[in-house]
């Protein structure tokens, strides 16, 4: 992709991000790191998500299209919040998920993509990779911690209160660790231009 073309793509991406911010569709926790990345020459961010805890109702494994989000939290939570969200359930399996942040980053060149990838991996985002090396070069930055546990079926939680508390405790730890990693990454990103 030519320089001019890349700059157009970046400009559009920044515009989309701004629109999403105005519409309050961007997770606040991830905005500072997105801003830092977009300030660096040769990079822009596209759809990204801060770490989150999710209560999902899903008819069967992998059938994500038919899944319903009963709760989405971008913060530490209490077991009670999961129980309240679960009252909205109807049919299917209930899953409690704790997901690490996912950042999508466009890069101008493969060299830049490789450097950003190595930086992300060194900050603990070990599940990162280049998702597209065609016309657009797109990186996905992600770490490995997660919890994917079924906790109920057809509107009924089948885990004991003590067990739910443990699942929430683990989920909260995953969110905490995610925030630490984002912090480390932001620090390194701040010095990125110095090495160019």
Interface residue list for a second copy (CB under 8 A) = 60-62, 93, 110, 113-114, 117, 127-134, 140, 144-150, 153, 158-160, 162-163, 166-167, 170, 173-174, 177
Residues 6+ apart with CB under 8 A from 62: none
Q: Quote the CA–CA distance of 3 and 12 in Å, as a whole number.
A: 14
Place of tokens 């390194």: 188
Residues 6+ apart with CB under 8 A from 179: 29, 51
User: What stretches of 105-160 show up as alpha helix (H) in DSSP?
Assistant: 110-122
Q: How far is the CB of 104 from a second copy (least distance, A)?
A: 11
31 versus 166: smaller Cβ distance to a second copy: 166
Q: How far is the CB of 19 from a second copy (least distance, A)?
A: 27
79 versus 150: smaller Cβ distance to a second copy: 150
The answer to whether the CB of 73 falls within 8 A of the CB of 98 is no
125 versus 192: smaller Cβ distance to a second copy: 125
Q: How far is the CB of 88 from a second copy (least distance, A)?
A: 21
């Amino acid at each position: 992709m030519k320089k001019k073309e890349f700059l157009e793509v970046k400009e559009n991406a920044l515009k989309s991000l701004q629109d999403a911010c105005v519409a309050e569709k961007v997770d606040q926790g991830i905005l500072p790191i997105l801003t830092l990345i977009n300030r660096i020459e040769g990079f822009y961010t596209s759809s990204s998500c801060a770490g989150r805890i999710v209560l999902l109702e899903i008819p069967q494994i992998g059938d994500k299209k038919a899944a319903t989000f009963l709760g989405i939290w971008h913060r530490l939570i209490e077991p009670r919040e999961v129980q309240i969200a679960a009252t909205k359930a109807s049919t299917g399996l209930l899953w409690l998920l704790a997901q690490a942040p996912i950042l999508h980053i466009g890069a101008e060149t493969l060299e830049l993509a490789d450097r950003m990838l190595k930086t992300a991996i060194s900050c603990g985002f070990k599940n990162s990779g280049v998702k597209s090396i065609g016309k657009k070069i797109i990186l996905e930055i992600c770490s490995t911690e997660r919890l994917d546990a079924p906790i109920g079926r057809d509107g009924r939680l089948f885990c004991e209160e003590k067990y739910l508390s443990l699942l929430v405790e683990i989920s909260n730890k995953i969110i905490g660790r995610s925030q630490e990693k984002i912090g480390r990454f932001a620090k390194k990103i701040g010095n990125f231009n110095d090495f160019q």
